[in-house]
């Protein structure tokens, strides 16, 4: 993969939780507008690696990192650990969806609007437009458009996960990180999420942690394997 195809470049990445060396000298690139699956046994640093791409690990006591992470953001290569690049801007452009759905204790509408309001947006028309666009993109609009003021926690597990995806999409990120997004869902909900992921790559670069090899075969354009915290494979197969 050359620089014209790449969206993310990771060079010499080491990560430690206190004395535990979790990630060791990782060197890998990720293609733009593609789905890359991160696979491997539990405890080998896949989720931790996602957190290095939006600096979410920085508030964890005893955690430290060295190496370089560069991402094309706003059309330019950015060293996301270089001084001067604000972490709030990074997390707006690099969204993260967790393994377990985490709707806020408020309405569906307010859940999706929350990141926009946190960023200072108060224009009601803008908020409504962006909420609808995000819910449409998350394949949820038709199911909730008549109940936007209902408590988000009344949604099913699969709907809650799509709501969390919509909440990430409302900020219009460039990269979407997914940490085992279907692990707590049934087969029907999983199928919807997988279809959604394939659609999202038209607009975003998607990295997804998955323990399900069948799922990886169905959705991934590329695979990065993590045994013992070391990337040993970065192979692309025809879909």
pLDDT digits (tens, 9 = 90+) for 25-78: 999 999 999 999 999 998 889 999 999 999 999 989 999 999 999 999 999 999
Whole-angstrom distance, CA of residue 216 vs CA of residue 210: 7
Q: What percent of the chain has pLDDT over 70?
A: 93
Provide the mean pLDDT of the chain.
91
Q: Which residues contact 133 (CB under 8 A, 6 or more apart)?
A: 170
Q: What percent of the chain has pLDDT over 90?
A: 82
Predicted local confidence at residue 238, as pLDDT = 39
Instruction: Indicate the pLDDT class of residue 233, thresholds 50, 70 and 90.
Output: low
Predicted local confidence at residue 231, as pLDDT = 63
Predicted local confidence at residue 121, as pLDDT = 83
Q: Is the pLDDT of residue 239 over 60?
A: no
Whole-angstrom distance, CA of residue 185 vs CA of residue 164: 14
Higher pLDDT, 25 or 233: 25
Query: Using an 8 Å Cβ cutoff, are 26 and 13 in contact?
Result: yes
Q: Where are the domains of the chain?
A: 31-44+84-233
pLDDT digits 0-9 by tens, 11-39: 999 999 999 999 999 999 999 999 999 99
Predicted local confidence at residue 227, as pLDDT = 64
Predicted local confidence at residue 143, as pLDDT = 97
Predicted local confidence at residue 230, as pLDDT = 62
Instruction: Indicate the pLDDT class of residue 223, thresholds 50, 70 and 90.
Output: very high
Question: Could you give the strand order of the β-sheet that contains 63-73, starting from the edge strand earlier in sequence?
Answer: 20-31, 6-17, 63-73, 76-79
Residue carrying the six token digits 């452009």: 93
CATH of domain 31-44+84-233: 3.40.50.300
- What phi and psi, each to the nearest 5 degrees, are found at residue 206? -120, 130
Instruction: Indicate the pLDDT class of residue 184, thresholds 50, 70 and 90.
Output: confident
Question: Strands (DSSP E) along 76-143, which ranges?
Answer: 76-79, 94-97
Q: Is the pLDDT of residue 187 over 50?
A: yes
Q: Give the DSSP letter string of 183-229.
A: TTS-HHHHHHHHHHHHHHTTTSEEEEE-S-HHHHHHH-SEEEE-STT
Burial class (CB in 10 A: 0-12, 13-18, 19+), 50: buried
Q: Is the pLDDT of residue 129 over 60?
A: yes
Q: Is the pLDDT of residue 235 over 70?
A: no
Question: Helix %, strand %, coil % for the chain, to 5?
Answer: 35, 30, 35
Predicted local confidence at residue 106, as pLDDT = 97
Instruction: Indicate the pLDDT class of residue 232, thresholds 50, 70 and 90.
Output: low
pTM of the model: 0.91
- What phi and psi, each to the nearest 5 degrees, are found at residue 185? -110, 155
Whole-angstrom distance, CA of residue 48 vs CA of residue 55: 10
- Retrieve residue 226's tokens: 């993590």
- Of the candidates 57, 39, 68, 92, the one whose C-alpha atom is nearest the C-alpha of residue 215 is 39
Predicted local confidence at residue 236, as pLDDT = 47
Residue range 220-236: average pLDDT?
Answer: 72
């Amino acid at each position: 993969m050359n620089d014209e195809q790449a969206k993310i470049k990771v060079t010499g990445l080491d990560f430690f939780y206190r004395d535990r060396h979790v990630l060791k000298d990782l060197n890998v690139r990720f293609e733009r507008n593609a789905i890359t699956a991160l696979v491997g046994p539990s405890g080998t640093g896949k989720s931790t690696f996602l957190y290095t791409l939006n600096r979410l690990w920085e508030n964890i006591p005893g955690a430290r990192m060295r190496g370089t992470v560069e991402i094309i953001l706003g059309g330019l290569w950015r060293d996301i650990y270089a001084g001067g690049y604000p972490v709030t801007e990074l997390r707006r452009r690099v969204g993260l969806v967790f393994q377990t759905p985490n709707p806020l204790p408020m309405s569906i509408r307010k859940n999706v609007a929350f990141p926009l309001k946190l960023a200072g947006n108060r224009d009601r028309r803008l908020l409504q437009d962006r909420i609808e666009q995000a819910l449409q993109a998350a394949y949820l609009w038709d199911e909730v458009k008549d109940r936007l003021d209902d408590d988000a926690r009344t949604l099913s597990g699969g709907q809650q996960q799509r709501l969390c995806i919509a909440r990430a999409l409302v900020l219009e990120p460039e990269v979407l990180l997914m940490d085992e997004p279907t692990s707590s869902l049934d087969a029907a909900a999983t199928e919807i999420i997988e279809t959604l992921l394939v659609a999202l790559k038209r607009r975003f670069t998607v990295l997804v942690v998955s323990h399900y090899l069948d799922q990886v075969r169905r959705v991934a354009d590329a695979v990065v394997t993590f045994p013992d915290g070391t990337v040993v494979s970065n192979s692309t197969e025809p879909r």
